[in-house]
Structure 1
Amino acid sequence: MMNTKATRMAATVLLTMTGGAAVAQDCPTGLPVVEEGKLVMSINATIPPKQYIDADGNIAGLHREMGDEIAKRLCLEPVYQNVDFAVQIPGLDADRWDMINTGLYFTDERAGFMQLVPYSVNALALISAAGNPLGVSEPKDLAGHAVGVEIAGFEEKKLNEINDAQVAEGLEPMDIRAFNTYGETFLALGGGQIDAVFAGDAIGSYYQEKGQFTKAATGLYPGTPGAFAFDEPDLAQAVADALNAMKADGTYDAMMEAYGTTKIDVWDRWPGEFTYFYTGD
């Protein structure tokens, strides 16, 4: 089931001409948040350029910028909890944060127990040591080799599915090694402990541009959206409304273009506006 509420909470811009122009915003009221006046978001700042720690020790990237903008439009203070991906869904369920802001992959299974607001379209990549010494061009080339992935995410599940299919075809199994974060995974690749990493296209581009690693195979399994996740339908809808306002005034498009991220419009299930997907009770 897809939520299609007709009533939308939109920020209202009020212009006054007395003593110059002043801009005010109507704030949504009564939003179910874990800490009054704040939007607490989990993030996994180990995946540049979308989420990482910058040279000054601050969380940076697309997810930070989107989180800040959404919070501003909801008249809430943005607060970030930088935690491993494996604890983000349990933490949402335990009311440790209001929103998962880590580019969580949309799946119908996840939409059965969380409200998901898709906002971008992803593709995956195989990232090798610089120069691609093994000549990897597809997952089959890594049969019998060590491949790293972040634990408990869509990528790990997908990699295991690929491996199972290849083994069924008679190929050697991959040695799949799951790490707590992608930061640890790429350290292992740099140290020669693994032969490749299975991760998002964007992080592969980031490291390739820095000359550290090479995207050996790119654009794999395109079309899977990244989504914000919630445990409160009213908050999920409020964030969707904020995204619709960002889309209308050009903020959303500008952010996506600045980070080379594919906009959600191309998703084959895009309903034409931001909304949440939820099939649970």
Structure 2
Amino acid sequence: MSVHTTLKSALIGLAALGLTVTGALADQLDDIKAAGKITVATEMHYAPFDILENGQYVGFNRDLFDEIAKELGVTPEYQDLPWTAILPGLEVKKFDFVTAPVTYTPERAERYAFTAPISDATVMMVQKAGGALTKPEDAKGKTVGAQQGTAQLAQLEAFGKKIGGITIKEYASTDEAYADVAAGRLDAAVASAPLINYMVKQRPEVFAAVNPPFGDPTYFGFVARKEGTETLIKAINDAMAKMQADGRFAKIQEKWIGAKTELPTEMPKL
């Protein structure tokens, strides 16, 4: 092999390496702004955060992310997917971002980039109105429902071991679990406290919250992929901080959750 050929091969190799590094360092926020839109996924059956009402997408997250998108200068495009398909879909780049409320856990933090908290996510039980549970510990020996693949399911499993045993039934959605509670087929179901409190407020003749919340205090956030999203996460956090300062965040909280709640400016480490 000649010196010329060897040098040429080396230069081609370096060029290829340069392209690889450039690709790896691609900034997702730049790509989103160039496209003029951000494609996001959520499950539109998670009131009060995501609701499909007469074919229209509404809820806390819709109002919040519409305002965030305005701050980013892009148009949001929303996709409705089953919860179990959302995080895997993010990883294989079927969409840009996840606006479903994702409960922060150390395991998820290793895999995904979290925004600052959008809401409290501490787990709570709900039972049929007039039910026998006076506190979460009364669920010992009872059957309690939870949505598959959620942090609330994991918290329920740990709580069941702690109090001496709970029969757990898994559901594809919280709505299905709530329906079985209302029909008397379940003693209780679990979800985050904002969801339970919203539902009980809407249907007090059917459901009753089991107070207090239990398990480790935690928060919901939005999530992105780990690589190339640092500026995107910062821009979204900056937008939420601006909304907290000018009162827009509080108005959305009051509209959908019923009260203003102070939240950390970054996701607390567990």
* TM-score normalised by L of structure 1: 0.76
Q: What code does the residue aligned with 1:184 have?
A: E
For 2:237, the equivalent position in structure 1 comes to: 240
Residue 251 to residue 34, structure 1, CA distance change in 2 (3 Å): closer
The 8 Å contact of residues 137 and 217 in structure 1, kept in 2 or not, is answered as yes
Q: Is 1:253 aligned to 2:245, yes or no?
A: no
Alignment pair present for 1:200 and 2:192: yes
Alignment pair present for 1:226 and 2:220: yes
Per-residue CA distance 1:75-99 (angstroms, 9 max, x = gap): 1111111112212111111111222
The equivalent of 1:14 in structure 2 is none
Q: Which residue of 1 aligns with 2:81?
A: 83
Relative distance call for 1:90 and 1:261 in structure 2 (3 A) is farther
| Consecutive unaligned residues in structure 2, runs of 5 or more | 1-26
Quote the Cα distance in structure 2 between the aligned partners of 1:100 and 1:255: 19
| Separation (CA, whole Å) in 1 of partners of 2:30 and 2:233 | 10
Which ranges of structure 1 fall in alignment gaps of 5 or more residues?
1-27
The alignment status of 1:179 with 2:178, answered yes or no, reads no
What letter matches 1:50 in structure 2?
F
Q: Report SS of the residue matched to 1:95.
A: coil
Query: Quick check: 204-213 or 34-43, which moved more?
Result: 34-43
Which has the larger share of helix? 2
Report deviation, 1:70: 0.9
Deviation of the 1:264 alpha carbon: 4.6
Displacement of 1:263 after TM fit?
3.2
Change (3 A) 1:217 1:98: same
- CA distance in 1: counterparts of 2:208 and 2:180, whole angstroms: 15
Identity %: 22
Task: Tell me if structure 2 keeps the 8 A contact 1:32–1:235.
Answer: no
In structure 1, the partner of 2:183 is: 191
User: Structure 1 counterpart of 2:219, which letter?
Assistant: P
Structure with max Cα Rg: 2
Q: What do residues 161-191 of structure 1 show as CA deviations (whole Å, max 9, x unaligned)? A: 111222xxxx3x2110111111111122222
2:57 corresponds to which residue? 59
Which residue does 1:25 correspond to in 2? none
Partners in 2 of 1:141 and 1:60 — Cα distance? 35
CA gap 1:222/1:165 in 2 versus in 1, 3 angstroms: closer
The equivalent position to 2:145 in structure 1, one of 148, 156, 171, is 148
Name the residue aligned to 1:100.
98
For the aligned residues, what is the CA RMSD? 2.5
* 1:7 counterpart residue number: none
Change in 2 beyond 3 A, CA 1:140/1:129: same
State the one-letter code of the partner of 2:88: P
1:41 aligns with 2:40: yes
Pick closer, same or farther for the CA change 1:192–1:213 going to 2, 3 Å: same
Give the superposition deviation at 1:220.
2.8
C-alpha deviation, 1:216, in angstroms: 2.1
1:208 and 1:277 mapped to 2: Cα distance? Answer: 28
SS of equivalent residue, structure 1 residue 141: helix
Q: 1:77 to 1:86 in 2, by over 3 A?
A: same
**Equivalent-residue separation in structure 2 for 1:98 and 1:264 (angstroms):** 28
Q: Counterpart amino acid of 1:152? A: G
Report what 2:17 is aligned to. Answer: none
| Further displaced range: 143-152 or 220-229 | 220-229
